[in-house]
Amino acid sequence: MAALNLHHLRLFRAVAVEPSLTAAARRLNLSQSALSTQIRQLEQSLGHDLFERRGRALHLTEAGRIALDHAEAIFRTADDLTQTLRGTGRGRLVLRVGALATLSRNLQMQFLRPLIGRSDVEVVLRSGSQGELMRGLEAHALDVMLTNLAPPRDAASPWLVHRLSEQPVSLIGTPARIARPGRSLADLLASEPVVLPTPETALREGFDALVSRLGVVPVVAAEADDMAMLRLLAREDAGLAVIPPIVVQDELAAGVLAEAAQLDPITETFLAVTRERRFPNPLIGSLLGHPSAGGAQPTDVDADPGTGEW
């Protein structure tokens, strides 16, 4: 077998991570025909098609995904070698993290805190929708996704779902709004306006079931699918917000907001999603507490966290 052409492999990786062949050719300063020719030469040397065309778009084949996984490992090792021989002493590790755009920043920082300040680590953060982040994981552009939405999984799925924490949910408001002590949960919900997650979220489903059991019809002051917006509405005294206390931990500590009541048994589940990889990022294991986080069997999630977003 002919020796692997690393130049062709680098071109292949560029095409695999760009949205189109045109974009890859533009970034590489090559013509599309020259780029296509060199990709075909790589396919011939490997004996497999690396892409399949669907309409105008190129998609990785199974062999292409394997090739991309190896290409990432090869060039990461090459980068480490270059940095070491240039006198840096050791290569820096890069962790690429995707998080739902609506996910609590406090929860993200809680997850990443062990890496913050390490001179040998660079953390790259990306936000987006669940679909965008899943595509990033699939293309190896992300190492881990932070979410509260468990991805669909079956025996053939590559996803590994790691339960990080389960957060309680409370009614949170300004001290002035909840100043009168001793009120029951039913009294609070009947007498104070509430700020709620939108109806399609798991949090809202749990809240609606709770008020139904209590026989209360609350006055809804506002709805939002973004925890940052719920936090701001609570700070502006729009009403009592249904929110995990960790989202507003700074405001609670400063006395800007206060907890009126905990909404048992409503909780939110915080998840990290990775995919099975032959060469997992070693930083993932340190964050998840075990060395095989990139290649272990998926952790079962006891209950589907629904479609709620932090």
| CA-closest candidate to residue 287, choices 189, 187, 162, 195 | 162
pLDDT in tens, 130-148: 999 998 888 888 999 999 8
How much of the chain, in percent, has pLDDT values that exceed 90?
A: 47
C-alpha to C-alpha distances, 47 to 37, 42, 67, 203, nearest whole angstrom? 15, 8, 12, 50
Strand-by-strand arrangement of the 240-243 sheet: 121-128, 93-100, 144-147, 258-275, 159-173, 240-243, 194-197, 220-224
DSSP tag of 139: T
Instruction: Write down the pTM of the prediction.
Output: 0.62
Amino acid 109 reads M
Total count of domains within the chain? 2
The answer to whether residue 33 is domain-embedded is yes
The mean pLDDT of the chain is: 85
The answer to whether residue 297 is domain-embedded is no
pLDDT band at 206 (very low <50, low <70, confident <90, very high): very high
The CATH number of the domain holding residue 52 is: 1.10.10.10
The answer to whether residue 11 is domain-embedded is yes
Amino acid 91 reads G
The answer to whether residue 182 is domain-embedded is yes
pLDDT in tens, 108-130: 999 999 999 998 898 999 999 89
- The torsion region of residue 140 among left (phi > 0), alpha (psi -120 to 50) and beta comes to left
> What's the chain's length in residues?
310
The CATH number of the domain holding residue 210 is: 3.40.190.290
- As given in the structure block, the two tokens for residue 301 are 């999630």
- The torsion region of residue 130 among left (phi > 0), alpha (psi -120 to 50) and beta comes to alpha
The answer to whether residue 250 is domain-embedded is yes
pLDDT higher than 70, residue 188: yes
* Separation of alpha carbons 275 and 80, rounded Å: 23
The answer to whether residue 213 is domain-embedded is yes
The answer to whether residue 24 is domain-embedded is yes
Place of tokens 């701001």: 232
Residue 300: predicted pLDDT:
42
Residue 179: predicted pLDDT:
82
Distance of CA 4 to the CA centre of its chain: 34
pLDDT band at 227 (very low <50, low <70, confident <90, very high): confident
Q: Which of 17, 46, 69 is the last residue before a domain boundary?
A: 69
Q: Which of 69, 86, 104 is the last residue before a domain boundary?
A: 69
Task: Please give the average per-residue pLDDT across 198-218, as a whole number.
Answer: 92
Classify each residue of 169-178 as buried b or exposed e, where b means 16 or more C-beta atoms within 10 Å of its C-beta: bbbbbbeebb
pLDDT in tens, 59-101: 889 899 889 888 888 887 777 666 555 544 455 788 999 999 8
Residue 308: predicted pLDDT:
33
Per the structure, the complete domain to which residue 21 belongs is given by 6-69
How crowded is the C-beta side of 155, counted as CA atoms within 13 Å? 0
Q: Which of 69, 95, 120 is the last residue before a domain boundary?
A: 69
The answer to whether residue 142 is domain-embedded is no
* Separation of alpha carbons 135 and 72, rounded Å: 16
